[in-house]
Structure 1
């Protein structure tokens, strides 16, 4: 029986190296990760904040997604996954031409060699076009910036944010991505970061906390009361984030393979365990389950499993989920209240606790629990395994060093970028605009409701009534124009 034409290798758009299944999964995984940001975090941010900040918070995420894509294809991708320039950085260059994008995907700095120079493991070359890899990796870069934004919601000058996004992507994100994934010194040393516990979550948590320090706090009234404007929509955004994590960790092996399947299962097991653990702690200490707390527990579970999703057994994912529900809960609910620094820095959505703390926890637990046979399937350094499986303490040392590098680089780069921007535009909106919120920042409001900071013009209410009544005493009055109301 003849091979159906759809499965023949000599089609014009099907070169010998193309695996249709891998390419299909990679594009689907990229779409899932993209949906975590657009609309996932756009909806979550627009709903979890006070009503007067709904538009601004959602727009910060929307803008970051668009700006990151353009910077990524102009220079970012090759700085993170291209030819080596420095031990921690790739050579900048565009990813725009037909000749570059339709060829087989290649990460030029990833071949791993023995100390004598002979090849130990070849270059990473997935069985699909470079275009698929460029877009997939972009979605990781975009969500890192959007997660970082959670630390500065409700007061950062939108113009400063617009400048910050491209600069941080170039000078911070690409360094971590190249060092741990693209063939940098941490990649070749054997630091394990399966899908972004360090590159994405630790980086966003530390940079977000640093940015919150330099931008300054919200208004006192906003810090004291910042309740969500729509909890049901917040849960919708959280649900998109959770389910989108299938692409986040399932796409990390660059193929639809065994590791991908294990990673997806472990991801959801850990997230569910952490959510339940966090909820139980809320009930035990506060007497009732918190919906926002459940979302935070879901998040810490997803973050914690990310560095080792395809490298640990599922029973280990449950252990990681329990610890992801306990350790960040303690840091947020107990240690935060006892730390003068944590109290001083206004981290709006507690990104430091849910991403930095959970990211470090996941990285260390991966160094402890990474299973040898699963490691052999994907890791670039042969023989990698967790301390619990006879790997000794060297892997834990590597994990600590990797975390310290990401922390140090993000502290320095984020500070430098923000101080440079501050020379041209204020990092924080002025107090009179902070009193108003979205209407002052964008001239737009999230809901057709009055009373949470927006400018109130009484003539809006009487225009229709007075249109045909020139004798009405309010027709020519100046009553209540531009009055600012703060509830």
Structure 2
């Protein structure tokens, strides 16, 4: 019964290749390659660094924070996100995100000309990065698309069906990530308005954080939430994951200069500085609130600073980056501890508390601290445009995520059974366990 559909799917690339409308030799968003070898080498390195952020970085960071019975299932989410998004990016995600702006519908989503990467050759370059081979541009942007849904998994960890997560990642990439990516970075309306997002504060972190909050609210809390001990099972894993995220984030932020230049250099320094400032800010508030500092707090503060500086990294000077980090740490502590306690929702690993709140703070402060002395693109910076962009991203992500969860609910189902959750998702979902 599946033979005919599979045959049709197998022949689809040939049909697309044969179609002049979908496989033009040189698309509107492409230009002949004028290779910049230094920048190409740096973005090759950055691509590897950002890929490192998901596997093993985020996998270990999240894996260490769950209970031992759910480590494998948590790491599986990061791995599944990598596999699913990579294939989808090749099929349609890249085209929907960075396809011909001439095909965009009111600036909301890209075109279809680059489905299956039609028209891309070793001698083409995307118009946004004329010094890079387009295949490298595609690979670098792919790594951002991979980590975004993987971040969301921190909100529904320890209770979502693996089958539901697969369907969720698939639909979310196409319905939420690709349109928002196009609207901000791919020639869409937010970019045209002047919304500044240097390396993904809105596209990645606010997008993922809001989606995580919606997931947490729809799925409801884990059994025993607020009563049982749900402390991290292995903070050494989380510390190693944080270190990998910190190193990988240099590719995330400095690589977003798309060149080996002075803007990349200031973005790299700002990234490290903001992470350190936020770790201090988080720890000071935690020390006052809980009467003692924790390793988890220090690690969370580092990530909070990385998130906060992401939209601003190549647009602000170090003084701005320091203040963004110093403010992001306490803001994310408030989101991960006080806000969650006040509203009693179970954002398992603080996807919204850190990535959502940190991204919002960083995006707004980008409008305050961005300076043309660092980057000419900052000349258009203002808080109002940043606020408009944030509201739009939050609305698209929130509504889209809710609709996708409803599709999952009535197809795969969302949550594992109570007995399976109590036993642990490692064994009940994957038939594997960690022995110590």
Report the TM-score when normalising by structure 2: 0.89
Contact preservation (8 Å) 2:33, 2:132: no
The partner residue of 2:408 within 406, 421, 426 is 421
What is the rounded CA distance, in whole Å, between the counterparts of 2:313 and 2:301 in structure 1?
17
Counterpart of 1:435?
422
Counterpart of 1:270?
274
The partner residue of 1:444 within 414, 429, 432 is 432
Contact preservation (8 Å) 2:53, 2:147: yes
Higher relative contact order (CA 8 A, sep 6+): 2
Counterpart of 2:60?
43
The answer as to 2:389 corresponding to 1:356 is no
Shift of 1:286: 1.7
Shift of 1:256: 1.0
Contact preservation (8 Å) 2:91, 2:117: no
Contact preservation (8 Å) 2:62, 2:349: no
What are structure 2's unaligned runs of at least 5 residues? 1-31
What is the rounded CA distance, in whole Å, between the counterparts of 1:325 and 1:46 in structure 2?
22
What is the rounded CA distance, in whole Å, between the counterparts of 1:412 and 1:423 in structure 2?
17
What is the rounded CA distance, in whole Å, between the counterparts of 2:388 and 2:170 in structure 1?
27
Shift of 1:250: 0.7
Question: Which structure dedicates a bigger proportion of its chain to helix?
Answer: 2
* SS across alignment from 2:156: coil
What are structure 1's unaligned runs of at least 5 residues? 1-14, 108-123, 386-394, 450-487
The partner residue of 1:250 within 247, 254, 263 is 254
Report the TM-score when normalising by structure 1: 0.80
The partner residue of 1:403 within 374, 382, 390 is 390
The answer as to 2:64 corresponding to 1:64 is no
Contact preservation (8 Å) 1:151, 1:347: yes
* SS across alignment from 1:374: coil
The answer as to 2:196 corresponding to 1:192 is yes
The answer as to 2:100 corresponding to 1:83 is yes
What is the rounded CA distance, in whole Å, between the counterparts of 1:16 and 1:334 in structure 2?
51
* SS across alignment from 2:63: helix
Task: Return closer, same or farther for 1:416/1:97 CA change in 2, 3 Å cut-off.
Answer: closer
Alignment of 1:258-337 (within 5 A): 258-337=262-341
Counterpart of 1:103?
123
* SS across alignment from 1:105: strand
The answer as to 2:380 corresponding to 1:384 is yes
Counterpart of 2:27?
none
Contact preservation (8 Å) 2:254, 2:267: yes
What is the rounded CA distance, in whole Å, between the counterparts of 2:220 and 2:287 in structure 1?
33
Counterpart of 2:40?
23
State which drifts further: 220-229 or 317-326.
Answer: 220-229
What is the rounded CA distance, in whole Å, between the counterparts of 1:42 and 1:311 in structure 2?
30
What is the rounded CA distance, in whole Å, between the counterparts of 1:215 and 1:195 in structure 2?
30
Counterpart of 2:25?
none
> What are the superposed Cα offsets for residues 267-288 of structure 1, whole Å, 9 maximum, x if unpaired?
1100001001211222222222
Counterpart of 2:132?
128
* SS across alignment from 2:292: coil
What is the rounded CA distance, in whole Å, between the counterparts of 1:213 and 1:93 in structure 2?
38
Shift of 1:331: 3.1
The answer as to 2:200 corresponding to 1:227 is no
Greater CA radius of gyration, 1 or 2?
1
Counterpart of 2:112?
92
What is the rounded CA distance, in whole Å, between the counterparts of 1:16 and 1:61 in structure 2?
34
State which drifts further: 358-367 or 223-232.
Answer: 223-232
* SS across alignment from 1:220: coil
Contact preservation (8 Å) 1:95, 1:101: no
Contact preservation (8 Å) 2:33, 2:130: no
Task: State the superposition RMSD in angstroms.
Answer: 1.7
